[in-house]
Chains A and B, each alone.
Chain A
Amino acid sequence: MSAQYSDRKYVIIAIFSSIILIFLARLFYIQVIDDQYKLTARNQAFRYMTDYPARGNIFDRKGRRLVYNQAAYDLMVIPRQVKDFDTAEFCTIIGIDKDQFEKKMLKAILPPNSSRKPSIFEKEISVEHSAILQERLYKFQGFFLQPRTLRKYPEPIAGHLLGYVGEVSEKITDTSSYYRDGDYIGISGMEKAYEIPLRGIKGTHIEVVDVHNRPMGSYMNGIYDTIAVAGKDLVCSLDAVLQEYGEKLMQNKIGSIVAIDPSTGEILAFVSSPGYDPNLLIGSTLPKNFRLLQQDSLKPLFNRALMASYPPGSTFKLVMSLVGQNEKVISKSTTFFCAGGYNYGGARPLKCDAHHGSLDLTAGISRSCNTYFCNVFRSVMDNKKYKKMEDVFTVWRNYAISFGIGAHLNTDIPNELRGSLPTIERYNKIFGEHRWHTSTIISLAIGQGELGITPLQNANVVCIIANKGFYYIPHTVKSIGKNPNDPSLLRFKEKHYAQVTDTAYYNVVIEAMNEVVKHGTAAASQIPGIDYCAKTGTAENKRVINGKVIQLKDHSMFIAFAPKENPKIAIAVTVENAGWGASWAAPIASLMIEKYLTDSVSRPEIEKKMLDADIIHTNIIGKQKGY
């Protein structure tokens, strides 16, 4: 019988072997060809967790902390993983009621959130609450705590400059591959400008979870993980003590102080008043406080030092002196006669404050004579070397630009205003082509008219004079991490030259500015033991109120650098609607200079007067000036 059917073994072997071959073919398909299972396996067993690095701290130039991080936790939820739990207990711990709970839960499920993905259930749980929660979290499946860092400011200063951090907008998440919903990003100031070094680099780690979503450790000992890189600390150029002092001096005043070290371009103080406590714009309190600050009629969010444009007033006379000398139409000894005004052929002459009589350039500057500078302007404009008004105007304009007027300085603080420097086109539009000439635009001579300059630009002009011909781009960061030569900082180490380079011309102006302090308009603001140079300014300002052009009280302006030899600080102070430059801006500037250079103040009575002065709440509408 066995021999009879022995061939049947081949049938059986064939059946057995072919089944195994079919299995191998099937295995080849699902394991080698089809990727679907590999993807599903990853989605099931892997959680891609983001590691947020600590944001860099910011220190002032002397190592004092300006911004640091404070720990907080976001309570996250993955709705799908939520199992039945004691809602009442849960709500009590985080301090919400049942309605809120349901709302938050719904929000976590509905688009753009998803019940499969983690989303924020409750933001910024305090450290105490999170400790309680952490202990009981095992009862609340699907919830977990994600550490977050909130910015904290030990002193409530420099809010405008430091900027703030907030949740990233949809516009950014749509275009950036780095940011995801709920991430934080620097929104203004240094936080925005230095976002990349400050934020560091997010890391991800793959966490393997079991079927019950319990974390089972890292995948393959983390060989596919990327490690988060901590943000770098910044050393800010600010002097925190000077900044704080400046903000105090400017309390109850509208205006700004910009102080720069002319030898480096580092910003030492950057005050915009009224300001705000940067601690208001943190985390979940940000939107509410931001709205309140926005609604404030004094516009505390507005960075006046960077974004307000004022007519430079008399400080522009310094630039005119340099341009006149460089064009060789005036010299130190050029004299003009002042009879109390400059008659440019209009109905009324451009007035001077006094009958100055015969003045040379030094006296013209130190006594701030309008007549003198109208004559300087005319000399420049009527230079025979230029055939057409447009040509000479362009020459003049280029001088102004080279002094950083009417152009972006490209500082590292975002949203810098260019200010206004009139163009040929603009005058053509106002007066008609070829219908304007020197006397039409004579008010430019004294820094009025169509000129607008920001306090930062004003301070930069002072730096150029202090440096006798060049400036470094004003900036706020000394070093990134420990590296002062970070590539992004190299542009701040380049000298930018004004079109006037002859130091002799500067010496004339500097002597005159020194005279301003010694015997001129700023004589009341002398600092014992410090020989410095300054120029007062009084900028007219008009505003349309109820359809009528109203002459408002002048802006008090003052620029200075100190000491005269080897300058360490250049400063521009603007106090809006405060009147004479000598009365408010000058003492404030002198106090700042003294504080910075000597670390003390020798004139307490002036200091007290400045600290106590409340200029905001006095009448800002000045008497009508008729001309």
Chain B
Amino acid sequence: MITREPTYSDAAGNAWVGVWRAAVLELGSIGRAGSMTAQSLVMLPLLLATRRSRRELARQLYITGIKSLALITIVGMFTGMILGLQVGLELRRYNQELYIGSAVMVSLLREMGPFMTGIILAACVGSSMAAQIGTMTVNDEIAALEIMSISPVRFLMAPRMAAMVLMTPILSFYTCVLGVIGGGIVGLTQLNVPWAQYINMAMDVAHLRDLYVGLFKALVFGIVVTSVSCYEGFTTTQGAVGVGQATRRSVIVSILLILVLGYIITRLFYDL
């Protein structure tokens, strides 16, 4: 069962026992989240099996993608503008502000696009997932599902996972496009870089490999956010307070994992 009694029923005898129990519990939590993630990924094809599940998938796609679009647009645009301004100000010292297109494009494709998308989805969609599932958990709705032999992972987590797996790379690409446009606007208005020249410089350095690595990174971030958020939701306890804590933890852990995994993926794909 996803919802279950605490592992330890008695109090820890001393500090070392407490540390040991905490380590075991953390490892168990990680393993549980990993198992849930694996199950949800395996169940993704089943979402296309029934009409109800397809409708649920479409609903999750709408929530994840369309409802986040406004925020993603603003964040993506301003991310590009900030990048263009900062890089342009530095390059202007060497009269090389023409190269902001290259810097903005490379930064967004490789790192900033997926990273900002992951952060936004963790804050918007992930927290919403954790709160929704957490509320269901504290209201024993998850337990009811399990009693009815309905897998909560398949019923609740798999559609959200599918939606995030599909939408995160798309939103990441969208962020990159808007970021490049934002950088171009700053270049045009603040640094006197002609638009055509900005685009030429940006396209010169844009390689498909950078795009693919960025999209892969976004895919991983989507899986991480969904896994963390759903896990936090499924393990929520202590009523409304627990829901708040689960929501907060889901955002914190998601952002931390996005940062750590972002670095690892970047390092694995790019040699020094």
Partners in one complex: no
B residues bordering A, Cβ < 8 Å? none
